[in-house]
Amino acid sequence: MNRVRLLVFNAALGALDYRVPEGMAVEPGSVVVAPLGPRQIVGIAWEEERLPAESVPDARLRPLAEVLPVPPLRAELRRLIEWTADYYCAPLSAVARMVISSGGALRGPATMTEYRLSGGMPERMTSQRERAMERLEGEQATIRELAEIAGVSEGVLRGLVNQGAMEAVTVDCDRPYPRARAGHATVDLNPEQAAVAARLVEAVNEGVFAPFLLDGVTGSGKTETYFEAVAAALDADRQVLVLLPEIALTQAFLRRFEDRFGAPPVVWHSSLKSTERRRAWRAIASGEAQVVVGARSALFLPYARLGLIVVDEAHEVSFKQDDGVRYNARDVAVMRAHFERLPVVLASATPALESLQMAESGIYERLELPSRFGAAELPAIDTVDLTEDPPERGRWLASRLARELAERLDKGEQSLLFLNRRGYAPLTLCRNCGFRFECPNCTAWLVEHRFTRRLACHHCGHETAPPATCPECGEPDCLVACGPGVERIADEVAEILPGARVAVATSDTLNSPERAAEFVAQVEERAIDVIVGTQLVTKGFHFPELTLVGVVDADLGLEGGDLRAAERTYQQVAQVAGRAGRGEKPGQVLIQTRHPEAPVIAALAAGDRDAFYAAETEARRHAGAPPFGRWAAIIVSSEDEAEAKEAARAIGGTRPDLADIAIYGPAPAPLSLLRGRYRYRLLINARRSARLQETIRSWLDALAFPRGVRVSIDIDPYSFV
């Protein structure tokens, strides 16, 4: 009797056993369809001894329905799934779902119908039809996509099809991608870069587990250098995964890749259309996809023969996922490289302390690029003490920064003002009664967006139009904006420099690849003098004429209860500073602060990275914080306030009493209401030697909660709200 154990995508079902019908070939990793009650479910065949299940006698087993036409998940990937579930205290099924992330991909070859202009004319021309035909020149896509491109209804396009002006084309969903070529356009590296590249190429060719910290200042050529390792993998016919923070996945990077390798990489991110997902997934699983550039979710795809992983901007917090499986893609990337026995490169100008520590202790091999490429120098950094040079009331730029902006404008050079706050003002209140506009679903103020005339919650998306009268006291015209967002800074620049062309660059204004590309083109053509932007502009961009960077409020990130606040401020300011002086003209950075003496600000001003890291390392050691100790969080939430509180109390009341694990809380979370759920948190600080995950699991497994309560575990948390 041939039986098989399945991992299915529903945590509540656990593992299930089935009978393998005569003639069906199933091996561990096979993706199969099985009957469950009246339904059919998808599962992955797993080694029985690694997946406990209730034992079912042979006679009661139902037969599998079919094996899906995709390659079985390799053992290395199955081990990674197990490791991830175990380390992050997440259900195996939830991790496996990140691997099988395209339903369509599981079905065999398929075709779809796309449309394009046929060259014929419609019998009757209308202005809509004319517009569509103009805009669809050279395009081929589904009707829905074409309607979007042309800005007309699908009905208009169907009319054109009926009248023969457009024709249907059958395309293979899995048509191959253009091939990248290692030697398409090679670059002459300088000696420092060449040494680093040679080491990476060697590791790719050896094909052994080799973690690298590629530590190089902004503009030193880290990308250029790891491209050599990508080329080596291409030559060896191995696949490459480059992980980027979602916001760095820009046209600029893709264009650069194409310039170097002659074809764009396969892109993977959360907003791919389902047909694109399917095509990418299948090409990755078959080994056809050569280089995948993706956001963190690309890490769990079923690569057929991976040869190299690069995590660029590896310090970025966006590699940490904060819902579902709360994993850190940077750390899991190293584990994947370990299981698959291949090199992994963590590249950054401002590495996380955890990564530096791994390099220091010899676990990661450190490769350094200490200077900028070519003639470019690192910018000069100065602080502006806002207590000594305060802006006028209602303004946010100190006179020195305003003066420097004016000077750049005179010289025809560009400036960037950085403030990590979207919108016009973070708080709106009533001058008459003091009423503050708060989100009904979250513990958060509504942020005014003047471009769109909305008050918006940045946590849940709740939006409302600003009312003419105060909802509390009824007074007309009494609302005042408090504090600045980027839109307000842009207004201020327009006031003090009436001739300047100012652009706001945030996820609100650059919300599509097209708009981002347009923005880049405008800056490159020098049609923009001053950019006012959020962290969106701190990375990836290379504007040679940009010579001044102003940090509007460096103290912003240091407020609040974030245990990594100093490190994050350091990284953010150092990254945005890295946008200045990338061409031949030297750069200047001005940091506005009320605390120039704070260690992180002083280190930035002195350009003394080592001093900052040394001080921060000591502080972490003292606090038993990562990398010297570990943190975990337990977050309890419910739509019912009393229920959430009661569940948190029950968890707190049964806390284990251990010498090497300290448990704080429960306490209401700083975001005590989020998307309509009341939230409590416990923070756990453990010694490195402690059995952290095991302790948490056995503690929580012993408790039962009402249906409406959600308890999530966050191992190595980055968010403390």
Q: Which residues bind ligand ADP (CB under 6 A)?
A: 187-190, 193, 216, 218-224, 373, 542
* 8 Å CB contact between 370 and 221: no
Q: Which two tokens stand for residue 665?
A: 């809380």
| Residue placing its CB nearer to Zn ion in the complex, 639 or 660 | 639
* Residue 238 binding result from Zn ion, ligand ADP, none, given CB thresholds of 5 to 8 Å by partner type: none
Q: Is 690 in the site for Zn ion (CB under 5 A)?
A: no
* Residue 542 binding result from Zn ion, ligand ADP, none, given CB thresholds of 5 to 8 Å by partner type: ligand ADP
d(CA 443, CA 670): 8
Report the nearest approach of Zn ion to the CB of residue 457 (Å): 3
| Residue placing its CB nearer to Zn ion in the complex, 241 or 442 | 442
| Residue placing its CB nearer to ligand ADP in the complex, 18 or 227 | 227
Q: Is 568 in the site for Zn ion (CB under 5 A)?
A: no
DSSP 296: G
Report the nearest approach of Zn ion to the CB of residue 439 (Å): 3
Report the nearest approach of ligand ADP to the CB of residue 582 (Å): 7
| Part of the chain binding Zn ion (CB under 5 A), chosen from 30-38, 188-196, 462-470, 710-718 | 462-470
| Residue placing its CB nearer to Zn ion in the complex, 50 or 458 | 458
| Residue placing its CB nearer to ligand ADP in the complex, 371 or 617 | 371
| Residue placing its CB nearer to Zn ion in the complex, 276 or 438 | 438
| Residue placing its CB nearer to ligand ADP in the complex, 544 or 656 | 544
Report the nearest approach of ligand ADP to the CB of residue 259 (Å): 9
Q: Is 457 in the site for Zn ion (CB under 5 A)?
A: yes
Report the nearest approach of Zn ion to the CB of residue 648 (Å): 21
* Residue 460 binding result from ligand ADP, Zn ion, none, given CB thresholds of 5 to 8 Å by partner type: Zn ion
| Residue placing its CB nearer to ligand ADP in the complex, 122 or 216 | 216
* Residue 343 binding result from Zn ion, ligand ADP, none, given CB thresholds of 5 to 8 Å by partner type: none
Q: Is 455 in the site for Zn ion (CB under 5 A)?
A: no
Ordered strands of the 210-216 beta sheet: 266-268, 291-294, 239-243, 306-312, 343-348, 210-216, 365-369
Report the nearest approach of ligand ADP to the CB of residue 427 (Å): 36
Strands 66-67 and 31-36: antiparallel
* Residue 220 binding result from ligand ADP, Zn ion, none, given CB thresholds of 5 to 8 Å by partner type: ligand ADP
> Under DSSP, is residue 706 helix (H, G, I), strand (E, B) or coil?
coil
Q: Which amino acid is at 56?
A: V
Give the residue closest to ligand ADP by C-beta: 221
Report the nearest approach of ligand ADP to the CB of residue 540 (Å): 9
- Going along 9-96, which residue ranges are E strands? 15-19, 31-36, 39-46, 66-67
Among 70, 156, 439, 551, binds Zn ion (CB under 5 A): 439
Q: Which two tokens stand for residue 220?
A: 């030193």
> Considering only CA atoms, which of 648, 677, 690 is closest in space to residue 665?
648
Write the DSSP string, 507-571.
TTTS-SHHHHHHHHHHHHTT--SEEEE-GGGSSS---TTEEEEEES-TTGGGSSS-TTHHHHHHH
* 8 Å CB contact between 538 and 404: no
Report the nearest approach of Zn ion to the CB of residue 628 (Å): 36
Report the nearest approach of ligand ADP to the CB of residue 221 (Å): 3
| Residue placing its CB nearer to ligand ADP in the complex, 303 or 570 | 570
Q: Is 441 in the site for Zn ion (CB under 5 A)?
A: yes
Report the nearest approach of ligand ADP to the CB of residue 382 (Å): 23
* 8 Å CB contact between 487 and 533: no
Paired residues of 550 in beta bridges: 417, 590
Among 8, 165, 298, 442, binds Zn ion (CB under 5 A): 442
| Residue placing its CB nearer to Zn ion in the complex, 184 or 459 | 459
d(CA 258, CA 650): 56
* 8 Å CB contact between 210 and 363: no
Report the nearest approach of Zn ion to the CB of residue 463 (Å): 10
Q: Is 205 in the site for Zn ion (CB under 5 A)?
A: no
d(CA 285, CA 298): 12
* 8 Å CB contact between 385 and 553: no
Give the per-residue SS3 of 207-273: CCCEEEEEEECCCCCHHHHHHHHHHHHHHCCCEEEEECCHHHCCHHHHHHHHHHHCCCCEEECCCCC
| Residue placing its CB nearer to Zn ion in the complex, 470 or 673 | 673
Q: Which amino acid is at 704?
A: A
Beta-carbon neighbour count of residue 52 at 10 Å?
Answer: 10
Angle, nearest 10°, between helix axes 127-135 and 143-150?
100
SS3 helix, strand, coil % of the chain, rounded to 5?
35, 25, 40
| Residue placing its CB nearer to ligand ADP in the complex, 134 or 188 | 188
d(CA 288, CA 290): 6
| Part of the chain binding Zn ion (CB under 5 A), chosen from 294-302, 422-430, 449-457, 701-709 | 449-457
Q: Is 462 in the site for Zn ion (CB under 5 A)?
A: yes
Report the nearest approach of ligand ADP to the CB of residue 375 (Å): 11
Q: Is 721 in the site for Zn ion (CB under 5 A)?
A: no
| Part of the chain binding Zn ion (CB under 5 A), chosen from 43-51, 120-128, 252-260, 460-468 | 460-468
Q: Using CB under 5 A as the criterion, which residues of the chain lie in contact with Zn ion when the complex forms?
A: 439, 441-442, 457, 459-460, 462
